[in-house]
Amino acid sequence: MKQAAARTIALALLRQISVGELTIHEGHRTSVVGPGGAPTATLHVRSPRVWPMLARGGLGLADAYREGLWDSPDIAAVLRVAARDVTRLDVIRRRIAFARMPWLHARAGFARNTPTRSRKDISAHYDLGNELFSLMLDPTMMYSCGVFEDRDCTLHEASLRKLEMVCEKLDLAEGDRVVELGTGWGGFAVYAATTRGCHVTTTTISREQHDLATARVRTEGVEHLVDVRLDDYRDLRGSYDKLVSLEMIEAVGHKDFGTFFACCSDLLAPNGTMLLQTITIDDRAYDIEKLSRSFIRTYVFPNGCLPCLRVIADNLAERTDMRTVHLEDLSHHYAETLRRWRANFDAAGPELERLGYDDRFRRLWRMYLAYCEAGFAERRIGLLQMVMAKPHHSTDRLGVAPATIEELEDGAATAVAAG
């Protein structure tokens, strides 16, 4: 009875889809909801237990998929239909936010990304096994958005183009002292050292990442140029010419965004520059999302938080002496990057099973990759690449021309629209 009532309610809500089309197959029954047109998707209900779970929103949808209660030939398409239509619900969420905020703040009040907690959260994702990531990523082992110059571009080429773009924007050169917050598996550090001859100090709090990055540095023969550390970014000291952070800020937690930017500023010389690549969320959704227990924050990136452009700007102004001199929206590249990662992940299914990653885990990660792909495709989330400069930086050593106020405002408007 409970499942039947939940099905009736869920289908009634699904029939209100205002954009796209969703075809639902359930045994011998087929329901088509939505006005038609793109995006279109097909969903196969494997168990009626799925209906009560949908009442929990995105988290319930993900749980049901992980348990095999529903499937689709293209789960990213299902999630795109959901992402496209959820826009109209944002207004309702903002209207009722005032009633939820005290409770959400109270729940989050006891949580803080201390170094110990940060290591635990990072380990829960990045220490799942280097074999997993090597099967999913390209040979650079870059776990951040690539830049696709055309449709025939390979994932490897896209990652190399992104790395070259970072080096160009900072005008990295031999002798530069560079600090990187968030080593990954050493892709940037090795590339910068081998192509520019600069000195790179890079840090991670993932043991698995540290060990593989150290091995890659040794294999490439750049031990004299790259120092891989197993330190929290808050413990770094020194003065550097350039700072790079590629999609690491999302892990620091919303309470520590100010700490992050203050540390970046303190690590840079008076004429230093910083490149930040970050996934962002719309300013209007930030206050609710930062406190919500979403699917991604619960199962994939524990206690992570996407910043919004407003928060970045506010913290730069309040916690640093840096100013933004360049901003580029790269959101359109991320859906393709994620699609390629998901294709690699699916192709590696038998090998992943052999390595001990069971079906529930693989379904969870397939959902995670498709969830993010849909978010970028429908512009629910965005990707920014920003260059910030200290007061005494030299424009002769900057790979991009300092932006005018008008250009930054145009870039910010584009980024917000992409949110």
pLDDT tens digits along 212-263: 999 999 999 999 999 999 999 999 999 999 999 999 999 999 999 999 999 9
Identify the band that residue 104 occupies on the pLDDT scale cut at 50, 70 and 90: very low
User: Which residues share a beta bridge with 244?
Assistant: 180, 275
Q: How far apart are CA 257 and CA 31, in angstroms?
A: 45
pLDDT value at 408 more than 80? no
Confidence at residue 18, expressed as pLDDT on a 0 to 100 scale: 86
For the chain, the residue count is 419
Domains and CATH numbers, the chain: 2-87 (3.30.1050), 115-418 (3.40.50.150)
Mean pLDDT in residue range 279-296:
86
Give the pLDDT band of residue 124 (cuts 50, 70, 90).
Answer: confident
Nearest partner of 336 among 369, 300, 361, judged by Cα: 369
For position 120, what pLDDT does the model report? 85
Q: How far apart are CA 181 and CA 5, in angstroms?
A: 50
* Pairwise CA distance, residues 337 & 184, whole Å: 17
Residue with tokens 């294709």: 343
Q: Among candidates 366, 363, 318, which has minimal Cα distance to 338?
A: 366
Tell me which DSSP letter residue 299 carries.
I
Specify whether the CB–CB gap between 174 and 195 falls below 8 A: no
What is residue 170's predicted lDDT score, i.e. its pLDDT? 97
Q: Does 372 qualify as catalytic in the annotation? A: yes
| Residue 113 · residue 258 · CB < 8 Å | no
Is the pLDDT at 64 greater than 90? The verdict is yes
One-character DSSP codes across 169-199 = HHT--TT-EEEEE--TTSHHHHHHHHHH--E
Cβ atoms within 10 Å of 34's Cβ, excluding its own: 21
- Location of structure tokens 């145009």: 410
Instruction: Kindly state the average pLDDT of the residues 187-212.
Output: 97
Is pLDDT above 50 for 42? Answer: yes
DSSP-based three-state secondary structure for 361: helix
Backbone angles phi, psi at 196, to 5 degrees: -120, -20
Q: Which one of 145, 198, 263, 372 is the catalytic residue?
A: 372
137 compared with 299, residue with greater pLDDT: 137
Burial of 304 per CB tally in 10 Å (0-12, 13-18, 19+): buried
Poorest-confidence range of 58-62, 82-86, 269-273? 82-86
> pLDDT-derived band of residue 111, with 50, 70 and 90 as boundaries?
low
Highest mean pLDDT among 6-15, 137-146, 293-302, 401-410: 137-146
At 351, the pLDDT band (50, 70, 90 cuts) reads very high
Phi, psi of 222 (to 5 degrees): -120, 30
Strand order in the sheet with 226-229: 226-229, 199-203, 177-181, 240-246, 268-281, 381-389, 323-329
CA distance linking residue 231 with residue 119, whole number of Å: 10
325 vs 117, higher pLDDT:
325
CB atoms within 10 A of CB 28: 5
* pLDDT at residue 93 tops 50: no
CA–CA dist 189, 177 (Å, integer):
12
Q: What is the pLDDT, as a whole number, of residue 413?
A: 61
pLDDT digit string (tens) for 295-335?
888 899 988 999 999 999 999 999 999 999 999 999 999 99
In sequence order, what are the beta bridge partners of 201? Answer: 179, 227
CA 318 to chain centre: 25
d(CA 62, CA 296): 9
- Per-residue pLDDT of 157-171, as tens digits, reads 999 999 999 999 999
